[in-house]
């Protein structure tokens, strides 16, 4: 008889994507439902997931706090009855304030609580619930700001990526041009849309390149026309419609440093230039990128130096094949034992221990 699990998520793709991967890992082993706030809906396909909306307020406006607490109390009650109805036995959270009502309700019901922390620094909601959780799935046991008294709760797993990514790691790329992938993540990156294109035009006059770039839906045609005007072959796409085949074509990626995107690039053996978002909470994007840099897998360029250094940086990367090849070799070493089955077995083993 299958167990009944609830996976709670929401907000940005950085929270929702790991939740969907856990869903994929557990799909055949448990009866699953998912909860998300309204922001997370754009990352979920109605046909792929059974989910309910728990739209937790952000608690960012002091004047609205009394009303927000009333809403959260209502959502705790709503979560309680949802889990009672579905006979939930265990709850899995990807962190974030949107998980608060579900975890509070789970505590009232004395359910097992499991956390997922994809970043290299512990998130605030996950840190808050560490005492109450059974286990927390992390990508390292050296996670920053992690309370030492709960270190025994860490389960180290390889970075979460969808199963289909493992099937593409050995495919060859089209090498007639150097393919540059540009990814801003689920939040997008204006700096890539506005500042990078002129540098790529200059580089294209010296080196044969092809551009694959994520952009805002409203900016796709404008950006495509710009590159075409200067004879640069391109494919412009939105975050919601991006394709694994686009990632597969890349020789190099310029990216923000969300944990999910870096994990995907890593498993596909694509060296990347990370430009961490300076405003990311607790500077977690820098920490994510620094993990790969310390393993010799990527380069980091601070946003404040982006405009003045990106052109020279790209030329050096494209021309310095020895450094580029070394990054690819280090990515292979990092992912040598990383496969879907081993991640799946570790997740199931730890969920079934209690």
- The sign one gets for the Cα dihedral 309, 315, 319, 321 is positive
Cα gap 31→50, rounded to integer Å: 10
Cα 131–Cα 36–Cα 275 angle in degrees, nearest 5: 80
Q: What is the CATH number of the domain that holds 275?
A: 3.40.50.2000
User: What is the percentage of the chain residues whose pLDDT exceeds 70?
Assistant: 95
Task: Please give the Cα distance from 291 to 297 (Å, whole number).
Answer: 9
Question: How many structural domains does the chain have?
Answer: 2
State whether 346 and 233 are in the same domain: no
Q: Are residues 76 and 103 in the same domain?
A: yes
187 pLDDT tier (thresholds 50, 70, 90): low
What is the C-alpha separation between 37 and 301, in angstroms, rounded? Answer: 33
From first CA to last CA, the distance across the chain in angstroms is 16
Per-residue pLDDT for 172 more than 60? no
In this structure, are 222 and 326 located in the same domain?
Answer: yes
Over residues 20-33, the pLDDT tens digits come to 999 999 999 999 99
343 and 229 both lie in a single domain: no
Same domain (yes/no): 9, 69:
yes
Tell me, yes or no, whether 24 and 86 share the same domain.
Answer: yes
Rounded mean pLDDT of the chain?
91
Q: For residue 176, what pLDDT is reported?
A: 82
Same domain membership, residue 109 and residue 206: no
Q: Which of these, 221, 227, 247, lies nearest to 169 by C-alpha position?
A: 247
Which residues span the domain enclosing 179?
165-334
Would you call 242 helix, strand, or coil by DSSP? coil
Domain identity same for 196 and 304: yes
Q: Are residues 85 and 10 in the same domain?
A: yes
- Strand-pairing partners, residue 144, are 121
**Degrees to nearest 5, angle at CA 119 with 118 and 125:** 85
The residue among 13, 54, 301, 302 whose CA lies nearest residue 160 is: 13
Whether residues 233 and 153 fall in one domain: no
pLDDT digits (tens, 9 = 90+) for 247-274: 888 999 999 999 999 999 999 999 999 9
Question: Tens digit of pLDDT for each residue in 200-243?
Answer: 999 999 889 999 999 888 889 999 999 999 999 999 988 665 56
How sure is the predictor about 354, in pLDDT bands with cuts at 50, 70 and 90?
A: low
C-alpha span between 243 and 112 (Å, rounded):
36
What pLDDT, on a 0 to 100 scale, did the predictor assign at position 249?
Answer: 84
Residue 105: pLDDT over 60:
yes
Q: Is 248 helix (H, G, I), strand (E, B) or coil?
A: helix
Q: What is the pLDDT of residue 114?
A: 98
**Residues 233, 171: one domain?**
yes
Q: What is the 8-class DSSP label of residue 4? A: E
Inform me whether the pLDDT recorded for 174 exceeds 60: no
Q: Does one domain contain both 180 and 73?
A: no
Contact 179, 250 (CB under 8 A): yes
CB 17 within 8 A of CB 119: no
């Amino acid at each position: 008889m299958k167990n009944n699990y609830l996976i709670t998520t929401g907000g940005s793709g950085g929270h929702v994507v790991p939740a969907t991967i856990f869903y994929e890992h557990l799909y055949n082993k448990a009866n699953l439902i998912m909860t998300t706030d309204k922001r997370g809906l754009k990352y979920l396909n109605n046909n792929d997931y059974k989910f309910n909306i728990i739209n937790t307020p952000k608690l960012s406006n002091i004047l609205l706090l009394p009303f927000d607490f009333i809403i959260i109390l209502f959502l705790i009650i709503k979560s309680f009855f949802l889990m009672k109805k579905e006979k939930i036995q265990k709850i899995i959270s990807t962190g974030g304030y949107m998980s608060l009502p579900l975890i509070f309700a789970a505590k009232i019901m004395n359910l097992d609580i499991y956390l997922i922390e994809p970043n290299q620094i512990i998130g605030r909601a996950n840190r808050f619930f560490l005492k109450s959780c059974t286990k927390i799935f992390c990508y390292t046991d050296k996670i920053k700001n992690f309370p030492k008294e709960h270190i025994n709760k860490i389960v180290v797993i390889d970075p979460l990526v969808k199963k289909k990514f493992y099937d593409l790691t050995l495919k060859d790329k089209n090498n007639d041009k150097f393919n540059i992938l540009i990814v801003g993540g689920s939040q997008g990156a204006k700096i890539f849309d506005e500042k990078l294109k002129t540098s790529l035009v200059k580089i294209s006059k010296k080196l044969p390149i092809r551009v694959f770039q994520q952009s805002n839906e409203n900016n796709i045609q404008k950006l495509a026309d710009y590159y075409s005007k200067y004879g640069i072959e391109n494919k412009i796409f939105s975050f919601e419609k991006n394709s694994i085949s686009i990632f597969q074509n890349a020789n190099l990626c310029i990216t923000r440093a969300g944990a999910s995107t870096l994990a995907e690039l890593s498993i596909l053996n694509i060296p990347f230039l990370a430009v961490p978002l300076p405003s990311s909470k607790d500077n977690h994007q820098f920490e994510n990128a620094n993990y790969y840099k310390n393993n010799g897998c990527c380069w980091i360029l601070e946003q404040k130096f982006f405009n003045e250094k990106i052109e020279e940086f790209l030329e050096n990367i494209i021309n310095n094949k020895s450094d580029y090849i070394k990054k690819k070799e280090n990515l292979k070493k990092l992912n040598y034992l990383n496969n879907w089955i081993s991640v799946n077995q570790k997740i199931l083993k730890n969920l079934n221990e209690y």
